[in-house]
Structure 1
Amino acid sequence: MISSRALLTWSLVAFFVFAGLLNIFAPLSLREDYLNWGYPGWFHYATGSLELLSAVLQGRRATSKLGVLLGALVMGAAVITLLIYHDWLHATFPLLIFVALAGKLMPEAQRSQRLSI
């Protein structure tokens, strides 16, 4: 039986691997989005690399918190960018990922207490 915490961890790792590869091998439409948002042409490589690094760090027990923090920074930047450019609908998914990452940082006792309310 897999715990809900382990399921969340590996779901986030899978998301960041997928997102990282998508950004590194970005289709033209995504590269154009980055340019429209005011980022330099190489920025999708940086984003993808940070997402892959986040996945690797989250997948190791000793570095998982660092990976979660890095992922939260990347998702926070994505949310802010999308909100600045009034892309409300596309901001929802990175915001949900950000909230999931924040939940992983919450101490176990606080999570249990919040769930019992």
Structure 2
Amino acid sequence: MLHTASSWLLVAAFCGAGLFNAIGTPATQSSFIRWGYPAWWCRVTGGLEIFTAALIALPVTRGAGLILGAVIVVAAILTVLRHRDLSHLAPLGLFAALLILVTVAA
């Protein structure tokens, strides 16, 4: 039960973050530029996050989704630490905790 609930919570989190990044508001694009990425990179990130959500949602591809999700989260953590944009660490920590919970519960 916990595994199923945490998996779906992780799917919803990646899907929500993906939609937010894929929409690419001016504020989101500005953050990506500040972090040294092109403005359009938020859409690539959003697409990868939505793809990750889809992979995690399907039991047969869940492992690949967890690996891709971990890579995305680690890259994001390294980016915000490098630029000392620490306000983003709390949500990233939640993503990391969910990834660990789903992986351990599997």
Q: Matched residues, percent identical?
A: 31
CA distance in 1: counterparts of 2:30 and 2:39, whole angstroms = 9
- Cα distance, 1:72 vs structure 2: 1.0
CA distance in 2: counterparts of 1:90 and 1:16, whole angstroms = 15
SS across alignment from 2:63: helix
- Which residue of structure 2 aligns with residue 80 of structure 1? 78
- Which residue of structure 2 aligns with residue 21 of structure 1? 19
Asked which structure has the greater CA Rg, the reply is 1
CA distance in 1: counterparts of 2:81 and 2:90, whole angstroms = 10
Extract unaligned runs of 5+ from structure 1. 109-117
- Cα distance, 1:84 vs structure 2: 0.9
- Give RMSD over aligned pairs: 1.3
TM-score normalised to structure 1 length: 0.84
Runs of 4+ in 1 over 3 A off after TM superposition: none
User: Does the CA-based 8 Å contact 2:32-2:41 persist in structure 1?
Assistant: yes
User: Larger relative contact order (C-alpha < 8 A, sep ≥ 6)?
Assistant: 2
TM-score normalised to structure 2 length: 0.92
Equivalent AA in structure 2 for residue 49 of structure 1: G
Q: How does 1:51-90 map to 2 (within 5 A)?
A: 51-90=49-88
- Cα distance, 1:98 vs structure 2: 1.4
User: Does the CA-based 8 Å contact 2:7-2:57 persist in structure 1?
Assistant: yes
- Cα distance, 1:89 vs structure 2: 2.8
Moved more, 93-102 or 66-75: 93-102
Matched residue count: 106
Extract unaligned runs of 5+ from structure 2. none
